[in-house]
Structure 1
Amino acid sequence: MTSKDGLNGRTVITGIGVTAPNGLGTEAFWKAVLAGHTGIGPVTRFDASRYASSLAGQIDDFDAAEHLNSRLLPQTDPSTRLALVAADWALTDAGVSPDTLPDYDMGVVTSNAMGGFDFTHREFDKLWNKGPDFVSVYESFAWFYAVNTGQISIRHKLRGPSAALVGEQAGGLDALGHARRTVRRGTPLVVAGGVDSALDPWGYVSQLAGGRVTTATDPARAYLPFSADASGYVPGEGGAILVAEDEASARERGAQQVYGELAGYAATFDPAPGTGRPPALRRAAEAALADAGLAPGDIDVVFADGAGVPGLDAAEAAAISGVFGAGAVPVTAPKALTGRLYSGGGPLDVATALLSIRDGVIPPTPTGAPVPEAYGLDLVRGAPRDQRVRTALVLARGRHGFNSAVVVRAA
């Protein structure tokens, strides 16, 4: 049964659901990552010719009507539709149905960075051009950061402890860390992860306003983490939802598979600019290792945040080499095939790390450009690296100082 001591129960991942620009479904995504197939291309949902940037990681082959009933479509933003489908796939993968456990023994923790931009943009257009009587009543909740947690909970009758977190790119790892804490406090199963989508005109321009999106026009040369040619990132949509369970409970119910253990988690916040104190990403990585009871030499691969912004890449490289030593551990950033997915990026990297453990291969960072020698990184580039993987460290940074780190290992 579930550990009740809040300290010693192992939390394992038994189900994965992926909705990504280069693959719908876990195995389709994994195949695309290993083959180096990108999901980045020109924005096609609106005319982006007058924007400073014109690329995005779009999910073009997703028809929500094929996966969700017609009642849900008028009340959901694209991000919620993607989250609902990812959760469906994760629960199916884990072999979980509403009667697997009592409803109050199953919870939901998700992260969302941008809310329902597309939905709200359409409703505001109605407000400005037609009047308030034309605005959907669903606008009252479809825009909200917590809506994915709520809709997943309602759809699957998951009435246990639940939460919604906001930490931009770091938020998805925070959701997994909070899910682990919830499991260790006695809830046997928690559906957790993150999904974002804001590729309507309003949402897209809000991302450009941050000043970190590349203006490159060649999809193959646009998002180049840790490259000497890095010029910014490409925004994307999607993410991953995972099923986290108490190991004893999962094995007792006959879980179909265990991908690995969610072994360590930590979060830090950067000091205020101008204080002279260093960023806190390194401290998050070290704390996550300590939480997992591991030393740096125990880590087989680092899935980096990989901002694709030279200053941020240099800071992350310094944190990684500071923990492990220069070139001492393989580093990869497969998110360069999808774009940065905000709250969805961290969970998708965790899913990728678990697949690396399963199949004994490190996916590459899709760039042929040189890595600055000063970075001191063994960046896996060009082709997958066959290597036994037992433990992986996943890093994520959110805008304005959020840092999170998760350790996963073979169960």
Structure 2
Amino acid sequence: MTVRAVVTGIGVVAPSGIGTDAHWKCVLAGENRIGRISLFDPDRYDTTLAGEVSEFDANRYADNRRAVQTDRWTHLGFAATSLALADAGLPETAEDPYGYAVALASSSGGNLFGQRELQRLWSRPSRTVGAYQSIAWFYAASVGQISIHHQFKGPCGVLVAEAAGGLDSLAHAVRTIRRGTPVALAGGTECALSPYALACQARSGMLSVAADPDRAYRPFDVAAAGYVPGEGGAVFVVEDLDHALARGAPTIYGEVVGWGATHDARHSGRDGGDSTQYARAMCLALDRAGTQAGEVDVVYPDALGVPRYDRSEAAALRLAFGGQPPPVTTQKPLIGRAHQGGSALDVANALLSLRHGVLPPTAGLDEPAAGCELDFVRRPRPESANVAMVNARGFDGFNSSLVLRQVAAQDRDRARGERIG
């Protein structure tokens, strides 16, 4: 049999809550967790709102030595990883270190740590930075620190494609498992909330400047006017199905059955991206999953909240699904756009919707804009969904799509029987 990769653990650290239970409750209730930025004074900036992880204590998930050496982005990663391992019923430190891989995504890196150190460099007579500046900001810092902390010595790597990287990491985890490593961590966290990071995002002209959290982030809506930044994300335990069954994994959320990644290969900022290339990523994912378009029960879109990008995404969905896309839902307006952490959270939502048999409602939508008329889930919709698609676009033309499927009881029984036989 072809090696099958399933998700057996989910760790969520987001404005919606810490842990899957708190997050899922927030998502189903449609509770808006966007508020005024508290990590620094945002008064000098047009954008003053963000989705922050409140009451987060890094020392609950990492010793003080590692906490002072790393950025908040990595602290969130420590927490999400510990939660995912506990959810999967796996130990914090592996008995077989080479049987565990780490393949997380990254985008802005440790910018809060870097901001603090650069301010110290230019504001003090000593003109120095701390010893850990050289590693804490680095885009691979979370992968390195998490693999060291948990002693995971299998293949490790970092995927960098902005929001699309959160999906690419799961695809890479599946490839790693098929090459012989039974367990891999995937997903990612983000904290692009520092003065420098906010200034970089504002330069794009895509940030919302609204003052009302309930009206600030409105993807696909007639009032869409940009996205609200956010932090947090999700880490997943991705595992060889046979390995998961052999050890008696407490939960199998779903199987990663297909993925596709394309690139616009041109400057696409003015027209909202190449719908054809975006649709091609979806079609590649469906083809690799051996799934027909009509079998998809729900789509979690990128949902940037910038009108031209929203129209382009809706057009791509119609291209991929032959004019009638399946139900669409997004929860980003509740918590902000957390780059690769946001697409990882979409995967968590998709897996939880498959497990619990309910599609969460679309947030931030009153009236779809022209060109964005899709079948949006308006209230929690009981649905015995079997297949979910998650899509993401990274700035500068990255497109990724992921297809997830429930693992049927008969498949689990057959896998057990083949293993015993």
Output the TM-score relative to the length of structure 2.
0.93
Q: Which moved more, 1:269-278 or 1:308-317?
A: 269-278
Match of 1:47 among 16, 24, 41: 41
Distance in structure 2 (CA, Å) of the matches to 1:221 and 1:62: 26
After TM superposition, where is structure 1 displaced by more than 6 Å over at least 4 residues in a row?
Answer: 274-277
Q: 1:10 to 1:372 in 2, by over 3 A?
A: same
Could you say which residue in structure 2 is the equivalent of 1:315? Answer: 312
Match of 1:165 among 152, 159, 168: 159
Distance in structure 2 (CA, Å) of the matches to 1:86 and 1:47: 27
Cα deviation for residue 271 of structure 1 reads 3.0
Q: 1:179, 1:244 within 8 Å by CA — same for their partners in 2? A: yes
Q: 1:277 to 1:341 in 2, by over 3 A?
A: closer
Cα deviation for residue 315 of structure 1 reads 0.4
Distance in structure 2 (CA, Å) of the matches to 1:207 and 1:22: 22
Distance in structure 2 (CA, Å) of the matches to 1:156 and 1:76: 16
Cα deviation for residue 101 of structure 1 reads 4.8
Structure 1, residues 258-286: CA drift from partner, whole Å, max 9, x if none? 11101111100013138997541100000
Structure 1, residues 185-236: CA drift from partner, whole Å, max 9, x if none? 1110001111110212222222211210011111001111111110000000
Match of 2:186 among 177, 181, 192: 192
Could you say which residue in structure 2 is the equivalent of 1:258? Answer: 252
Aligned ranges for residues 217-256 of structure 1 at < 5 Å?
A: 217-256=211-250
1:343 is aligned to 2:312: no
Could you say which residue in structure 1 is the equivalent of 2:416? Answer: none
Q: 1:168, 1:398 within 8 Å by CA — same for their partners in 2? A: yes
Cα deviation for residue 132 of structure 1 reads 5.6
Structure 1, residues 302-340: CA drift from partner, whole Å, max 9, x if none? 001001000000000001112224444100111121111
Q: 1:342 to 1:131 in 2, by over 3 A?
A: farther
| AA of the residue aligned to 2:261 | A
Match of 1:409 among 376, 391, 405: 405
Q: Please, which runs of 5 or more residues in structure 2 have no aligned partner?
A: 408-421
| AA of the residue aligned to 1:62 | F
Match of 2:392 among 373, 396, 402: 396
Could you say which residue in structure 2 is the equivalent of 1:94? Answer: 88
Could you say which residue in structure 1 is the equivalent of 2:22? Answer: 28
Aligned ranges for residues 252-291 of structure 1 at < 5 Å?
A: 252-273=246-267, 279-291=276-288
Cα deviation for residue 374 of structure 1 reads 2.9
Aligned ranges for residues 137-148 of structure 1 at < 5 Å?
A: 137-148=131-142
Q: Which moved more, 1:234-243 or 1:97-106?
A: 97-106
Match of 2:7, SS? strand
Equivalenced residues, count: 404
Match of 1:190, SS? strand
Distance in structure 1 (CA, Å) of the matches to 2:339 and 2:371: 28
Match of 1:240, SS? strand
Could you say which residue in structure 1 is the equivalent of 2:13? Answer: 19
| AA of the residue aligned to 1:145 | Y
Could you say which residue in structure 2 is the equivalent of 1:66? Answer: 60
Match of 2:69 among 65, 75, 89: 75
Aligned ranges for residues 196-211 of structure 1 at < 5 Å?
A: 196-211=190-205
Could you say which residue in structure 1 is the equivalent of 2:413? Answer: none
Q: Which moved more, 1:20-29 or 1:36-45?
A: 36-45
Match of 1:186, SS? coil
Cα deviation for residue 134 of structure 1 reads 4.3
Distance in structure 2 (CA, Å) of the matches to 1:229 and 1:392: 28
Q: 2:389, 2:403 within 8 Å by CA — same for their partners in 1? A: yes
Could you say which residue in structure 1 is the equivalent of 2:119? Answer: 125
- Once superposed, what is the RMSD of the aligned Cα atoms? 1.7
Q: 2:71, 2:112 within 8 Å by CA — same for their partners in 1? A: yes
Could you say which residue in structure 2 is the equivalent of 1:370? Answer: 367
Q: 1:326, 1:377 within 8 Å by CA — same for their partners in 2? A: no
1:181 is aligned to 2:162: no
Match of 1:182, SS? helix
Q: 1:159 to 1:108 in 2, by over 3 A?
A: same
Cα deviation for residue 99 of structure 1 reads 6.0
Match of 1:121, SS? helix
Cα deviation for residue 368 of structure 1 reads 4.2
Cα deviation for residue 184 of structure 1 reads 0.9
Q: Please, which runs of 5 or more residues in structure 1 have no aligned partner?
A: none
Could you say which residue in structure 2 is the equivalent of 1:114? Answer: 108
Could you say which residue in structure 1 is the equivalent of 2:298? Answer: 301
Q: Which moved more, 1:264-273 or 1:307-316?
A: 264-273
Match of 1:212 among 206, 216, 234: 206
Match of 1:227, SS? coil
Cα deviation for residue 124 of structure 1 reads 0.7
Match of 2:352, SS? helix
Quote the sequence identity (%): 47
Could you say which residue in structure 2 is the equivalent of 1:324? Answer: 321
Distance in structure 2 (CA, Å) of the matches to 1:264 and 1:132: 53
Q: 1:271, 1:280 within 8 Å by CA — same for their partners in 2? A: no
Match of 1:250, SS? helix
